[in-house]
Amino acid sequence: MAPRRKRLLAVVAILAGVGAATALAMLAFEDNLLYFYNPSQVLAGDAPSGRTFRIGGMVTEGSLKRTEGTLEVRFVVTDYQHSIPVRYEGLLPDLFREGQGVIAHGKLSAAGEFEADEVLAKHDENYMPPEVAESLHTPTPARVSE
Amino acid sequence: MIPELGHFALILALLLSVAQAVFGLAGGARSNTAWMAASRSAVVGQFVFTALAFGTLAWAFIQRDFSVLYVATNSHSELPLFYRVAAVWGAHEGSLLLWSLCLAAWTLAVAAGSKALEAPFRSRVLGFLGLISIGFQLFMLTTSNPFKRLIPAASEGLDLNPLLQDFALAVHPPILYLGYVGFSVAFAFACATLLEGRLDAAWARWTRPWTLAAWLFLTIGIALGSWWAYYELGWGGWWFWDPVENASFMPWLAGTALIHSLAVTEKRGLFKSWTLLLAVSAFSLSLLGTFLVRSGVLISVHAFATDPKRGIFILAFLTIVIGGALLLFAWRAPRLRSSAAFEPTSRESFLLLNNAFLIAALSLILLGTLYPLFIDALELGKVTVGAPWFNLMFLVPMLPLLALLGVGMHAAWKRGLLGTAKYRLYAIAGIGIAGSLLVGGAAYGDIRPMTTLGFALALWVMLSSLAMPWARIRARQPLPAAALGMVIAHFGVGLTTLGITGVQSFKVEKDFALGVGESAQIAGYDFKLAALRDVQGMNFIGVEADVVVSREGSPVTVLHPQKRLYNSGGNPMTEAGIEVGAARDLFAALGDQLGQGRWSMRLQYKPLIRYIWLGAILIALGGLVAALDRRYRAPVQARAGEAVVPVAQ
């Protein structure tokens, strides 16, 4: 084979491979994209039912309730307009606190309670989760220093 | 006064970078000896003043000078000395200064270690490195000055994020940056080559050790980050496909492709433009990674709005560097012709496939990382691409890559596979599959398709790596350092595969509510919360638990997870208790008080997890051994003796 043709073939092969991979990747996106909603959107019915998604907002002061001696914990997430009760079983992250931003991953139950299988707080205590910050429409600097 | 000196040193460093770039490029273009010498002197000066600036910032941290804004935001009077120094690169401004210092150090090393290169070419390389320095120093001075004063001075600092008060994370950024910045050398070499329109074997040979050095630092940096996430974040995961992790992994993949492609360019004079493109990509991705992590764009695209000056500077800088290099490439690359034939089963073919799969993996990760940013920027909603997607997308190109790796190592250049090697490979494949079934069945009592495939590929890669030196030694052939390095690194790839397969297949993670005297069972181990006590550290107080682990009645170990509260305030921190083992890690993290004397605890069983990092260490070690190959340090022979491929036409 002429080297030129060979190189052409190689380029075509690479492009075809990358193209096929990208097509597959886009298809797989469907099942693995996690959407984010704030409590108002969830109450307005924007969030999908029966599918996992993420909610975020501030943990309402005084809303954290544990079932004594078990891992079950309940708290309320708010965007200061609407609130959603959240139920979770497991370890809460170190940065979890009442009055702080939080993101929960899970499903909405029939009773309107958010059944979380994962609760996240941001690494840096000075950060508010960005989705939370934006959904609250309060301009928050990325760091306190700036 | 001292911080102002640092500020001044930084300004001088910028001026010297300008001199380095201008005299380097102009001197190279005109072959003007005086200008080229001026550029080299500027390199030394630039390094001295950048180091001075860095030193003064470190001094401000050591002296607890809270009149410097950056120190006041990232330090605390009770912070131990080691972390006060590490706090220098704990946030945006200082990490840029560290970046700049790494770049100055690499530039100095290039200036000192490339005397054998032709003077104009060497001068151009220094010129391009100078251009990058200018960008970073300008960025610092205009938008992110670490020496900015706080008036009146704060009486106490805000403290370094407690998560960063840890050995692995203190050394993680400098090592990672040495890797990121190290690719600037390959980048500058590529740009200078494109400018000259000539690429020969000597060029590739000169670039290889530099690229290997950068790549091995990046490997260690990524492994450190993974290890840190495992024990410090308290989650016990070792990779999360977090955008921050992806940002460092993408240049690594490009760099891995580059070191393989460079081998072909050096030995056979092929893949020239492709190699240059990879050199440009590896550094561009490093820049992208640095900025993704440090600019706040990942937090939110709209975080740019909080400081538009920074955002615009970053975008402009990325555009100039990447766009400029690609333009140069488009203009000059067609001049670099390479023509040589090779068989479909020759080593060239395998290295071509290696590159194709690595770039496929890289593109997919890039897609998954940037997609949410695009969606966000277009106001189409807030999305995250889940880890399962990344797992699947990474696996698709990696499985064939691992399978081909074992064969490719034994393929000869130009010609096809040798007959005897073929039979040896059949034997290794057989042993790999049998061994995999044995490990899955006997050790874990469970045989699953993906697990078997994972173990089989791991054994295949490891055995195949060992077969190469074994055959060489038996045939009394020499084993040069470069080949030995390849063997070590590939063995490491197999080991990492083994670890990943083990953890992903058989890990157990579970949360429990335990009171003192109560116990829980996972994976055949009994974890008993035996005692709780108060502890006090240098700048924190906390609670420590004694978790007695036993298996079938016989004691295994006692874990000591802690919950810490730092004196500077803020949130509590989890320090996991981990028992390290060759076959498995046992992991306990302490959560919160649940009432009724109980605490929440996360218990984990992580089989073979150590091999993930051990493999990474071997990969880096392989890179080191290869980079030290004598051949790379031998003086360049007369050009006549080289396979010089002049500019066509």
pLDDT for A143: 34
Judged against a pLDDT cut of 90, whether residue B569 lies above it is answered with no
Tell me which residue of B168, B145, B143 sits closest to B97, measured CA to CA.
Answer: B145
Interchain CB distance below 8 Å, B381 and A36: yes
Map tokens 């495939």 to a residue: B453
E-only strand ranges, B328-425: 383-385
CB-neighbour burial class of residue A63 (10 A; exposed 0-12, middle 13-18, buried 19+): middle
Extract the tokens encoding B256.
């891995």
Query: Touching check for B392 and chain A: CB below 8 Å?
Result: yes
Three-class SS of residue A96? coil
Encode B601-631: b = buried (16+ Cβ within 10 Å), e = exposed. bbbbbbbbbbbbbbbbebbbbbbbbbbbbee
Alpha-carbon distance of B620 to B616, in angstroms, equals 6
Phi/psi of residue B476, nearest 5 degrees:
55, 35
Please state the rounded mean pLDDT for residues B183-197: 93
Q: What pLDDT does residue B415 have?
A: 78
> Is residue B182 a contact partner of residue B108, using CB atoms and an 8 Å limit?
no
CB contacts of B341 in chain A (<8 Å) are 1, 3, 6
User: Which pLDDT belongs to residue B489?
Assistant: 97
In this prediction, residue A12 carries a pLDDT of 84
**Residue A3 pLDDT level (bands cut at 50, 70, 90):** low
Q: How far apart are CA B453 and CA B557, in angstroms?
A: 33
In the block, tokens 């000591």 appear at B560
Q: How far apart are CA B465 and CA B456, in angstroms?
A: 14
The residues that bridge with B151 in the sheet, in sequence order, are none
Spell out the SS3 assignment of B533-553.
Answer: EEEECCCEEEEEEEEEEEECC
Secondary structure of residue B114 in the 3-state scheme: coil
Please give the average per-residue pLDDT across B439-446, as a whole number: 84
The token pair that represents B43 in the structure block: 């390199």
B574 contact A CB<8A: yes
Is B515 at the interface with chain A, CB within 8 A? Answer: yes
Nearest CA-CA partner of B203 in B151, B257, B279? B279
User: pLDDT for B598-627, tens place per residue?
Assistant: 999 999 999 999 999 999 999 999 999 999
**Structure confidence at residue B343 as a pLDDT band (50, 70, 90):** confident
Which candidate, A42, A83, A31, places its Cα nearest to that of A62? A83
Kindly determine whether residue A71 and residue B573, on different chains, have CB atoms separated by under 8 Å. Answer: no
As a whole number of angstroms, the distance between CA A54 and CA A108 comes to 10
State the smallest CA–CA distance between residue B554 and chain A in angstroms. 29
Residues paired with A101 in a beta bridge:
A58
Statement: residue A127 has pLDDT above 70 = no
Q: Do B596 and A71 make contact, defined as CB atoms within 8 angstroms? A: no
With an 8 Å Cβ cutoff, are A133 and B591 in contact? no
pLDDT of residue B483: 92
Question: B513 and A70 in contact by Cβ < 8 A?
Answer: yes
From B360, B386, B592, residue closest to A34, measured CB to CB: B386
CB contact under 8 A, A21 and B363: yes
Q: How far is A19 from chain B (nearest CA, A)?
A: 9
User: For residue B414, what pLDDT is reported?
Assistant: 81
Cβ neighbours of residue A13 closer than 8 Å, sequence gap 6 or more: B356
Rounded Cα distance between B173 and B601, Å, is: 31
Per-residue model confidence as pLDDT tens digits over B524-561: 999 999 999 999 988 889 999 999 999 999 999 999 99
Which residues lie closer than 8 Å to B24 by C-beta, 6 or more apart? B36, B39, B42, B123, B124, B125, B126, B127, B128, B129, B130
The number of beta carbons lying within 10 Å of the beta carbon of residue B442 is 8
The confidence band for B440, taking pLDDT boundaries of 50, 70 and 90, is: confident
Q: How far is A111 from chain B (nearest CA, A)?
A: 25
Rounded Cα–Cα distance for residues B594 and B384 (Å) = 32
Please tell me what DSSP assigns to residue B237: -
Provide φ and ψ at B596, rounded to 5°: 55, 30
Q: Measuring CA to CA, how many Å separate B158 from each of A123, A126, B177, B574, B623?
A: 16, 10, 25, 20, 40
Strand (E) or helix (H) holding B56: helix B33-62
pLDDT at B235 exceeding the cut of 90: no
pLDDT at residue number A116: 94
B249, B46, B29, B637 alpha-carbon torsion, rounded to 10°: -70
> Which residue of chain B comes nearest to A127, CA vs CA?
B299
A33–B388 CB contact, under 8 Å: no
Lowest mean pLDDT among A14-18, A57-61, B248-252, B474-478: A14-18
- Average pLDDT (B115-119) is 86
Q: How does DSSP assign A20-72, residue by residue?
A: HHHHHHHHHHHHHEEEEE-HHHHHTT-SPSSS-EEEEEEEPTT--EE-TTSSE
All residues of chain B having their beta carbon less than 8 Å from the beta carbon of residue A145 are: 69-70, 73, 91, 158
Quote the pLDDT of residue A124. Answer: 46
In terms of average pLDDT, the best of A2-11, B47-56, B82-91, B223-232 is B47-56
Give B469→chain A minimum CA distance, Å. Answer: 31
pLDDT tens digits for range B499-524: 999 999 999 999 999 999 999 999 99
Which tens digits make up the pLDDT trace of B446-501? 888 999 999 999 999 999 999 988 888 888 888 899 999 999 999 999 999 999 99
Do A91 and B360 count as a contact with CB atoms less than 8 A apart?
no
| H or E element at residue B618 | helix B610-627
Which candidate in A12, A33, A67, A140 is best for mutational testing of the B interface (most B CBs within 10 A)? A33
Name the residue in chain A with its Cα closest to that of B299: A130
Encode B104-134: b = buried (16+ Cβ within 10 Å), e = exposed: bbbbbbbbeebeebebbbbbbbbbbbbbbbb
**Nearest residue on chain B to A14, alpha-carbon basis:** B356
**Residue listed under structure tokens 């308290």:** B234
B543 part of contact set with chain A, CB < 8 Å: no
- Region B560-571: mean pLDDT is 83
Report which of B268, B79, B227, B242 is spatially closest to residue B159, judged by C-alpha positions: B79
Distance from CA of B148 to the nearest CA of A (A): 11
B384 touches A: beta carbon within 8 Å:
yes
User: Would you give the end-to-end CA distance of chain B in angstroms?
Assistant: 61
pLDDT of A145: 32
Residue A23 has what pLDDT? 79
> Quick check: B296 contacting A, CB < 8 Å?
yes
Q: Per-residue pLDDT for B129 more than 70?
A: yes
CB B485 within 8 A of CB B629: yes
Residue B105, both tokens = 């150090």
Predicted pLDDT of residue A135: 58
Tokens of B437: 């079934």
List, for residues B382-392, the tens digit of each pLDDT value: 888 888 899 98
> Among B382, B398, B401, which would you mutate to test the A interface (most chain A Cβ atoms within 10 Å of its Cβ)?
B382
Contact between B212 and B627 (Cβ < 8 Å) = yes
Write out pLDDT tens, residues A60-81. 999 999 998 899 999 999 988 9
pLDDT of residue B301: 54
Q: Which of residues 152-181 of B touch A (CB under 8 A)?
A: 158, 161, 163
Cα separations in angstroms, B261 against B183, B222, B330, B464? 15, 22, 19, 21
Cβ separation B602–A18 shorter than 8 A: no
pLDDT at residue B169 tops 50: yes
Note the pLDDT of residue B340: 73
**Higher local confidence (pLDDT), B162 or B150:** B150
Nearest CB among A24, A91, A127 relative to B511 is that of A91
Q: Which of B34-43, B362-371, B412-421 has the lowest mean pLDDT?
A: B412-421
Please give the model's pTM, rounded to 2 decimal places. 0.90
Q: How far is B339 from chain A (nearest CA, A)?
A: 6
Residues of chain A contacting B91 with CB distance shorter than 8 Å: 143, 145
pLDDT value at position B234?
63
Q: Is B4 on the interface with A (CB under 8 A)?
A: no
C-alpha–C-alpha distance, residues A48 and A46, integer Å: 7
* Chain A contacts in chain B segment 582-611 (CB below 8 A): 589, 591-592, 594-598, 600-602
State how far residue A72 is from chain B, nearest Cα, in angstroms. 9
**Between the CA of residue B643 and those of B200, B202, B267, B315, B338, what are the distances in Å?**
7, 8, 9, 41, 11
| Gap between the Cα atoms of B452 and B501, Å rounded | 9
- Classify residue A91 by its DSSP letter: P
ipTM of the complex: 0.78
**Inter-chain contact B382–A35, Cβ cutoff 8 Å?**
yes
Using one digit for the tens of pLDDT, what is the confidence trace for B7-31? 999 999 999 999 999 999 999 999 9
Size of interface A-B (CB pairs under 8 A): 138
Report the Cα–Cα distance between both ends of chain A, in Å, rounded: 62
List chain A residues with CB under 8 Å of B571. 94-95, 97, 125
pLDDT of residue B418: 64
Q: Which residue has the tokens 């109450």?
A: A43
Of A1, A33, A69, the CB nearest to B595: A69
Mean pLDDT of chain B: 89
Torsions phi, psi of B526, nearest 5?
-110, 120
Burial of B217 (0-12, 13-18, 19+ CB in 10 A): buried
8 Å CB contact between A56 and A77:
yes
DSSP conformational letter for B409: T
Chain A partners within 8 Å of B388 (Cβ): 31-32
Residues of B in contact with A97 (CB under 8 A): 571
Question: Residue B282 above 60 pLDDT?
Answer: yes
Q: Distance (Å, rounded) from C-alpha B615 to C-alpha B402?
A: 14
